[in-house]
Amino acid sequence: MNKLSNQRAWLFVVPVVLLVAFNALIPLMTVVNYSVQETFGNNQFFWHGVGWFEQVLKSERFHASLLRQLAFTTMILLIEVPLGIAVALCMPRKGPWVSVCLVLMALPLLIPWNVVGAMWNIFALPDIGLLGKMINGLGIDYNFTQQPVAAWVTTVLMDVWHWTSLVVLLTYAGLCSIPDAYYQAARIDGASGWAVFRFIQLPKLNRVLTIAILLRFMDSFMIYTEPFVLTGGGPGNTTTFLSIDLVKIALGQFDLGPAAAMSLIYFMVVLLVCWIFYTAMMRNEGQS
């Protein structure tokens, strides 16, 4: 029997197609459009092929920001993930303190990015900020507006403060879902605290940690507002991460072509890293 063909069904897909087109496809295509054209003003555009891509990929400036970006992301992942797990392990599993801890943990996540940047900017100012003044009071010369190292430390610290909670909450949820029988069996088997963590908790946290690391990777790789408000990318270019650099090129210099090419490369890097990471984690899962 022939399949009944009913083309009217496509009508039901139209709203979704429109929605996706307007909020993702069309903007992305404009970027693609700019990335392969050159303009000399007057709203006149000329075909430029992959010239902008070549230029961006060869530019020292792009290499430097990409490196900074990778360094920053690696650093915050190395701090936030272990710290988040540690905090989650310390949180009570039962009793009245559970809700108190959860609310305290959720607080940083509720603060808008630019407010976090502004808060830390003032907090870390060497002359009037609580933190900055204190560090200088301890005899350490600290000025994040002038010293690259201090700027990095402050930016990393700010991100850790803002986002470790996310790792904590996800890990905590994962920990709560481990059945009691596992802990009981471990006690019967005479397992040490470390063995319980290594052989029960960590394997059971596999999935939530994958999600946590992916989320933190993506967010930190695209970080803009906080460092922009805190350091403005300085001193010099020392905290100019990819997105800050991109905005400088696109809106500061109005180099639409290179900016568009850079956006696409940037997008591909995020996509590629996520895909590699996710596939690796899932393959690991499949083996088990």
Asked whether position 44 contacts another protein by CB under 8 A, the answer is: no
Angle CA(176)–CA(96)–CA(194) in degrees, nearest 5?
A: 40
Question: Cis ω on the peptide bond leading into residue 235 (within 30° of 0)?
Answer: yes
Q: How far apart are CA 70 and CA 57, in angstroms?
A: 16
Q: Considering the rule CB under 8 A, would residue 89 count as an interface residue with another protein?
A: no
CB of 187 to another protein, least distance (A): 4
- Coil, strand or helix at 38: strand
Cis peptide before 112 (omega within 30 of 0): no
User: What does the per-residue mask of binding to another protein show for 201-220, with x meaning CB under 8 A?
Assistant: --xx----------------
C-alpha–C-alpha distance, residues 26 and 282, integer Å: 32
Report the C-alpha gap between 61 and 233 in whole angstroms.
Answer: 13
Site map (CB under 8 A) of another protein, residues 120-159, x = contact: ----------------------------------------
Is there a contact between 226 and 116 (Cβ–Cβ < 8 Å)?
Answer: yes
Measure Cα distances from 177 to 18, 106, 167, 201, 262 in Å.
40, 19, 16, 10, 42
Shortest distance (Å) from residue 169 CB to another protein: 23
Please choose, out of 34-42, 79-87, 174-182, 257-265, the segment that lies near another protein by the rule CB under 8 A: 174-182
Residue number with CB closer to another protein (137 or 179): 179
Closer to another protein by CB, 14 or 188: give it. 188
| Positions in 183-202 near another protein (CB under 8 A) | 184-185, 187-192, 195, 199-200
In the bound state with another protein, the residue whose beta carbon lies nearer, of 5 and 288, is 288
Applying CB under 8 A, the residues found at the interface with another protein are 179, 181-182, 184-185, 187-192, 195, 199-200, 203-204, 287-288
